[in-house]
Amino acid sequence: MLPSVDSVMLEQRAQSFAKRSIKNESKMQGLRLVLSMIDLTTLEGKDSAEKVKSLCKKAVHLYEGELAEPLPHVAAVCVYPSLVKVAKKALEGSGVNVASVATGFPSGQYPIDVRIGDVKKAVSAGADEIDMVINRGAFLAGNYKKVKDEIARVKNSCGNAHLKIILETGELETYDHVRFASDLAIEAATEAGKISDGEVFIKTSTGKVSPAATLPVTLVMLEAIRDFYDATGVRIGMKPAGGIKTAKQALHYLVMVKETLGDEWLSPHLFRFGASSLANDVLRQIVKQTTGHYPAGYDFSEA
C-alpha cells in the first residue's frame, strides 16, 4: 500500500516557507551558501567540448569584478558521459566536482545493460557523481521490484562516485507516489552495504519535464530523508532541480531544509540546487548587497 500524504497540510506548510523574510547578514550568508550548492549543468544535443570548457570556467570564476571577500565556487558541473573527460581536465585542482547524467537520461527507458554501461563509462572517465533516472514507466505500472533492482545495480556500478537518484516528480502524478518513490530509492541504494553521509541523494527532476522542483514536492522528499535518518542515522542528500531561478526562491528552500532536517544538511555535501540560471541571480544579489549597485551583464562569466 502506498503511503498517504496529507496534501492540504503539506501544501500549507510548504507555502509558509515562501513567506519568510531573510535580511542583512543572514541574507548574505544564505546567498553565499546557495552559490556553493549549485550544480551548473549543460545537457543539450548541441553540447560540445568548447561549451563544457566555458561552463567550467564559469564554475571557477563566477564574477569578473572585484569583491572584498572571495566568492565560493559552485558544487559541481554536470555533463553527459561523453564530455566528462573534458570537464575533469578543465576543473582540475578547482575543488569543483564533475557530475554526469547516466542510465538513459532523461527517459530511463533504455535496456538496463545499456544504462549500466552509461554509468561505468562516466565513472571510468572521472565522474565524481552520477545522476541517474528511474524508470517511471515501470514505477507507475506497479513494477516496484524492477525499479528497486535497477537502482541497486546502478549504485553497485558507481564505484567511489556518489549517486543522485532522479525521480522525475513531474511524471509521478501524486504526492503519495513521490513519497513512495523516495522511500524506494533510498532503500534500494542503501541495501547493498554501509554508505557514508551524502553518498546517496534523491533528486526531483531532470529539468526536461514540467513541473520540476516545487516546494511541496521537495518537502515530501525531505520528510522521507528525515524519517530514514531517524531510523538509521544515515544522512541522505537532496537535490531539487528545475524551476528554481531566483535567489529569493533558493533562500526559501534553505529555510525549509533547516526546519525539516536541521543545520547538518545546510552544506553542498548534503544539499544541492540543479539550477544553472540561478547562479547569476544569486551573484547579482551578492554584488548588490556588497556594493549597493546591481552589476552589469559583462561582469558575469559566460557559459
Residue of 39, 118, 128, 131 marked catalytic: 131
Question: In this predicted structure, what is the pLDDT of residue 292?
Answer: 81
DSSP summary character for residue 273: B
Question: In this predicted structure, what is the pLDDT of residue 115?
Answer: 95
Question: In this predicted structure, what is the pLDDT of residue 144?
Answer: 96
pLDDT digits (tens, 9 = 90+) for 165-197: 999 999 999 999 999 999 999 999 998 778 999
Q: Which has the higher per-residue pLDDT, 182 or 288?
A: 182
Round to whole Å and give the CA distance between 33 and 253.
12
Tally: H helices and E strands in the chain? 11, 7
Over residues 39-65, the mean pLDDT reads 92
Assign 299 a pLDDT band (cuts: 50, 70, 90): low
Assign 68 a pLDDT band (cuts: 50, 70, 90): low
Over residues 80-92, the mean pLDDT reads 97
Report the percent of the chain where pLDDT is more than 70. 96
Annotation marks residue 263 as catalytic: no
Annotation marks residue 131 as catalytic: yes
- Whether omega for the bond prior to residue 295 falls within 30 degrees of 0, making it cis, is no
Question: In this predicted structure, what is the pLDDT of residue 24?
Answer: 78
| Confidence (pTM) | 0.94
Mean pLDDT (the chain) is 93
In terms of Cβ atoms closer than 10 Å to its own Cβ (0-12, 13-18, 19+), residue 299 is middle
Domain residue spans in the chain?
7-299
What number of other Cβ atoms are within 10 A of residue 1's Cβ?
A: 5
CATH code reported for the domain at 7-299: 3.20.20.70
For CA atoms 18, 19, 24, 25, the dihedral sign is: negative
pLDDT of 7 above 70: yes
Round to whole Å and give the CA distance between 117 and 28.
43
Assign 297 a pLDDT band (cuts: 50, 70, 90): low
Over residues 241-267, the mean pLDDT reads 96
Assign 276 a pLDDT band (cuts: 50, 70, 90): confident
Annotation marks residue 203 as catalytic: yes
pLDDT of 65 above 90: no
Amino acid identity, position 28: M
Over residues 103-121, the mean pLDDT reads 94
DSSP summary character for residue 229: H
pLDDT digits (tens, 9 = 90+) for 143-171: 999 999 999 999 999 999 999 999 999 99
Q: Which grid coordinates belong to 62?
A: 563566477
Q: Which grid coordinates belong to 130?
A: 552520477
Residue of 88, 148, 155, 203 marked catalytic: 203
